[in-house]
A and B are shown apart, each in its own frame.
Chain A
Amino acid sequence: GENVEQHPSTLSVQEGDSAVIKCTYSDSASNYFPWYKQELGKRPQLIIDIRSNVGEKKDQRIAVTLNKTAKHFSLHITETQPEDSAVYFCAATSYNTDKLIFGTGTRLQVFP
Chain B
Amino acid sequence: AAGVIQSPRHLIKEKRETATLKCYPIPRHDTVYWYQQGPGQDPQFLISFYEKMQSDKGSIPDRFSAQQFSDYHSELNMSSLELGDSALYFCASSLRTGGSDTQYFGPGTRLTVL
Count A-side interface residues using an 8 Å CB cutoff: 21
User: SS class of chain B's interface: helix, strand, loop or mixed?
Assistant: strand
Encode contact with B along A72-104: 1 for CB under 8 Å, 0 otherwise.
000000000000000001000100011111111
Report the separation of the CA atoms of residues A17 and B31 in the bound assembly, to the nearest whole angstrom: 39
Count B-side interface residues using an 8 Å CB cutoff: 23
Are A102 and B42 in contact, with the CB atoms below 8 A?
yes
Are A98 and B107 in contact, with the CB atoms below 8 A?
no
Chain B residues within 8 Å of A, Cβ to Cβ? 31, 33, 35, 42-45, 48, 50, 55-56, 58, 88, 90, 101-108, 110
Cross-interface CB contact of A44 among B31, B48, B105, B110, cutoff 8 Å: B105
Report the separation of the CA atoms of residues A101 and B48 in the bound assembly, to the nearest whole angstrom: 14
Q: A43-B90, A98-B31, A99-B58 are in contact. Are A49 and B42 (CB under 8 A)?
A: no
Chain A residues within 8 Å of B, Cβ to Cβ? 32, 34, 36, 41-46, 49, 89, 93, 97-105
Q: Determine the chain B residues whose CB is within 8 A of the CB of A49 once the complex forms.
A: 102
Closest chain A CB from B76 CB (angstroms): 15
Task: Return the chain B residue nearest A94 by Cβ.
Answer: B101
Give me 11 other A-B pairs in contact (C-beta within 8 A), A100-B103, A104-B42, A105-B42 excluded: A34-B102, A34-B103, A41-B88, A89-B42, A98-B45, A98-B48, A98-B50, A99-B45, A100-B33, A100-B35, A101-B45
Q: Determine the chain B residues whose CB is within 8 A of the CB of A98 once the complex forms.
A: 31, 33, 45, 48, 50, 55-56, 101
Report the separation of the CA atoms of residues A44 and B103 in the bound assembly, to the nearest whole angstrom: 10
Task: Return the chain A residue nearest B6 by Cβ.
Answer: A43
Q: Which of A41, A45, A98, A105 neighbours the largest number of chain B CB atoms within 10 Å of its CB?
A: A98
Cross-interface CB contact of A46 among B35, B44, B48, B102, cutoff 8 Å: B102
